[in-house]
């Protein structure tokens, strides 16, 4: 399943509701965060890894992001919120909602890669992301939904930086690589791709 923005927005809206946040603006905020995050991940996030296998050649890999848990993601978002000057129990609840929804959402993404040097085997690596760029994408979506001002930009940057910190510190991608090659001998290669 592709990592579409409305999917993250829907998961986030459910988490916001569970934390007691309600209203039209909360739904708009959830969709802005969802669409901003998805737009950034699909356009700019890169998977880089190493493949190990048995056959020389080139292969195509498919895998998933693993290792991201909601409370840790929420803690990273909260740390960035605190750094931006946001405080209080409501911000903590909102950060936890974002972290929990993101942990569910990122597991839905499929990583597709090309492995050079190896045709059959597996790859392991990381998603490369940049917090301020994700924050800018979220900020753009928030502006489109009517959220304006310095605090809106700081909020978006805190979310973007917190989610990117989570991806880089916790997220691990494993891929299964398949392709054509001969003869079977131990090989390694560069496994590079995108999250879909």
Say which residue, 19 or 2, is predicted with more confidence.
19
* Residue 22 scores a pLDDT above 90: yes
Kindly report which listed range (45-54, 140-149, 187-196) carries the lowest average pLDDT score.
187-196
* Residue 185 scores a pLDDT above 80: no
Query: pTM of the prediction?
Result: 0.93
Nearest CA among 23, 40, 13 for reference residue 163 = 40
Whether the CB-CB separation of 100 and 70 falls below 8 Å is answered with: yes
Q: 13 lies in which domain range?
A: 5-195
Kindly report which listed range (42-46, 55-59, 68-72) carries the lowest average pLDDT score.
55-59
Averaged pLDDT, 141-168: 97
Domain count, the chain: 1
> For the chain, how many helices (H) and strands (E)?
6, 6
pLDDT at 58: 84
pLDDT at 189: 81
Burial class (CB in 10 A: 0-12, 13-18, 19+), 186: exposed
Whether the CB-CB separation of 157 and 85 falls below 8 Å is answered with: no
* Residue 1 scores a pLDDT above 70: no
CB environment 41-74: b (16+ within 10 A), e (fewer): bbeebebebbbbbebbbebebebbbebbebebbb
For residue 171, the 8-state DSSP code is -
| % of the chain surpassing 70 pLDDT | 98
* Residue 167 scores a pLDDT above 80: yes
For the chain, what is the mean pLDDT?
Answer: 93
Nearest CA among 80, 104, 92 for reference residue 161 = 80
Averaged pLDDT, 62-84: 96
Work out the angle at residue 146's Cα, subtended by the Cα atoms of residues 36 and 34, and round it to the nearest 5 degrees.
20
**Is 122 strand, coil or helix?**
strand
Give residue-wise pLDDT tens across range 116-140: 888 888 999 999 999 999 999 999 9
**Count of all residues that appear for the chain in the document:** 196
| % of the chain surpassing 90 pLDDT | 77
């Amino acid at each position: 399943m592709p990592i579409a923005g409305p999917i993250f927005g829907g998961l986030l809206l459910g988490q916001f509701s569970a934390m007691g946040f309600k209203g039209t603006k909360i739904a708009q905020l959830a969709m802005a965060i969802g669409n901003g995050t998805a737009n950034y991940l699909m356009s700019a996030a890169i998977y880089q890894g190493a493949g190990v296998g048995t056959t020389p050649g080139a292969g195509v890999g498919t895998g998933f992001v693993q290792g991201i848990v909601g409370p840790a993601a929420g803690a990273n978002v909260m740390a960035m919120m605190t750094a931006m000057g946001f405080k209080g129990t409501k911000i903590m609840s909102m950060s936890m909602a974002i972290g929990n929804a993101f942990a569910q959402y990122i597991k839905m993404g499929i990583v597709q890669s090309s492995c050079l040097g190896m045709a059959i085997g597996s790859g392991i690596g990381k998603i490369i992301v940049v917090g301020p760029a994700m924050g800018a994408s979220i900020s753009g979506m928030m502006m489109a939904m009517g959220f304006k001002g310095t605090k809106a930009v700081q909020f978006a940057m805190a979310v973007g930086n917190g989610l990117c910190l989570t991806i880089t510190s916790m997220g691990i991608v494993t891929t299964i690589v398949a392709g054509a090659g001969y003869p079977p001998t131990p090989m390694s290669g560069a496994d590079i791709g995108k999250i879909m």
